[in-house]
């Protein structure tokens, strides 16, 4: 089975669903509370696994109740936890999430053990990176770890995907190691200094990121769809038609499914359609990892949208 290695964060999520999101300084009552498992790394690893890839997940968790529960959950979900690293000094990461009735969300994260991942621990996983077809990584672990992992993958001709979230400024020498960059419109704007609200804005930002050394840019535009840009080619992918409930893990579903499809050898445009559908299924459900779709569900949505935008 094609192999994907995901390096990133693992969190316990605490979510409140409200009629609307609060403004600064405002308390909005009447919500519904639930807990789930998240973290962009764990979300994307499980998304790739459920989409049909063999996944190796490298992450750091605390030796605490949240960390133990996370490891048990991932194992029960069929994901190997052999490469998860216990942290003796920091608690596991947690995220506080507020979701409104339309699926829009606000998220605050206390990273805990996630920020203690080291470059030495990345180097210790060189064998796993070298055996993968795709490396998928985000920015919820230290930036030097991200760069080291991308460099090792490049040395071994492994396709690299960087989901630049949570967004921060990235050096050109790091971007030059990225085969596929997957920002949303906010992240694309912050990486380039542009305001990205429409497809034409995303196109301009994508070209600036290509100039910085990235090979492919896929700007995810939520309910508007997604835009793929590489040298000499560009294509807009309309969204799948679904009724949104919670957008919490939509981007993670997209990235995990994209990595899976590319590891299976699908052409990038076909992989993007597959990833679009994975994200669309996810927004129809509450939660993060509990909302991630199986491969059959993704394929079913693609079949049901034949002749329609998707």
Sorted by where each begins, the domain ranges of the chain are 3-8+39-89+114-304
Residues marked as catalytic: 252
What is the pLDDT, as a whole number, of residue 276?
96
Span 154-183, mean pLDDT? Answer: 97
Q: What is the mean pLDDT of residues 85-112?
A: 91
DSSP state of 31: -
pTM over 0.85: yes
CATH 3.40.1190.20 describes domain 3-8+39-89+114-304 = yes
pLDDT greater than 70 at residue 306 = no
For the chain, what is the mean pLDDT?
A: 94
User: CA dist 2 to 44, 55, 99, 119, 133, Å?
Assistant: 16, 9, 35, 26, 7
Confidence band for 36, pLDDT divided at 50, 70 and 90: confident
Q: Is residue 155 predicted with pLDDT exceeding 60?
A: yes
Q: Measuring CA to CA, which residue among 120, 118, 100, 107 is closest to residue 40?
A: 107
166 upstream amide cis, omega within 30 of 0: yes
Question: Could you give the percent of the chain with pLDDT greater than 90?
Answer: 84
Largest CA distance in the chain: 54
The pLDDT value given to residue 310 = 64
pLDDT at residue 169 tops 60: yes
Calculate what percentage of the chain has a pLDDT beyond 70. 98
Q: Is the pLDDT score of 147 beyond 70?
A: yes
Residue 307 has pLDDT above 60, yes or no: no
Provide the CA 273 distance to its chain's centre, in angstroms. 16
Task: Report the distance separating Cα 290 and Cα 15, nearest Å.
Answer: 13
Question: How many angstroms separate the CA atoms of 267 and 134, rounded?
Answer: 14
CA 2 – CA 4 distance, rounded (Å): 7
What's the pLDDT at 13?
87
What the block records as the tokens of 189 is 């704007």
């Amino acid at each position: 089975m094609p192999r994907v290695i995901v390096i990133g964060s693992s969190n316990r999520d605490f979510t409140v669903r409200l009629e609307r999101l609060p403004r600064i300084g405002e308390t909005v009552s009447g919500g519904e509370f639930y807990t789930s498992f998240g973290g962009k790394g764990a979300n994307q690893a499980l998304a790739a696994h459920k989409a049909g890839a063999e996944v190796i997940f490298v992450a750091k968790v605390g030796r605490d109740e949240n960390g133990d529960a996370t490891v048990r959950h991932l194992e029960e979900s069929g994901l190997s936890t052999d490469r998860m690293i216990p942290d003796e000094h920091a608690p596991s990461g947690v995220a506080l999430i507020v979701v409104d009735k339309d699926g829009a969300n606000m998220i605050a994260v206390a990273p805990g053990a996630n920020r203690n991942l080291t470059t030495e621990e990345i180097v210790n996983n060189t064998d796993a990176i070298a055996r993968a077809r795709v490396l998928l990584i985000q920015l919820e672990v230290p930036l030097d770890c991200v760069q080291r992992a991308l460099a090792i993958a490049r040395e071994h001709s492994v396709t690299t995907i960087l989901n630049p979230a949570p967004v921060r400024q990235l050096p050109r020498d790091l971007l030059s190691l990225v085969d596929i960059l997957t920002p949303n419109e906010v992240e694309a704007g912050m990486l380039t200094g542009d305001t990205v609200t429409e497809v034409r804005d995303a196109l301009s930002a994508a070209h600036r990121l290509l100039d910085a050394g990235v090979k492919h840019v896929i700007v995810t535009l939520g309910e508007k769809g997604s835009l793929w840009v590489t040298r000499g080619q560009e294509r807009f992918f309309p969204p799948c038609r679904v009724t949104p409930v919670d957008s919490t893990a939509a981007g993670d579903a997209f990235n995990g499914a994209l990595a899976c499809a590319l590891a299976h050898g699908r052409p990038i445009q076909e992989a993007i359609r597959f990833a679009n559908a994975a994200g669309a299924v996810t927004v129809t459900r509450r939660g993060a990892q509990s909302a991630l779709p199986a491969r059959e569900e993704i394929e079913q949505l693609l079949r049901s949208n034949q002749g329609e935008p998707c």
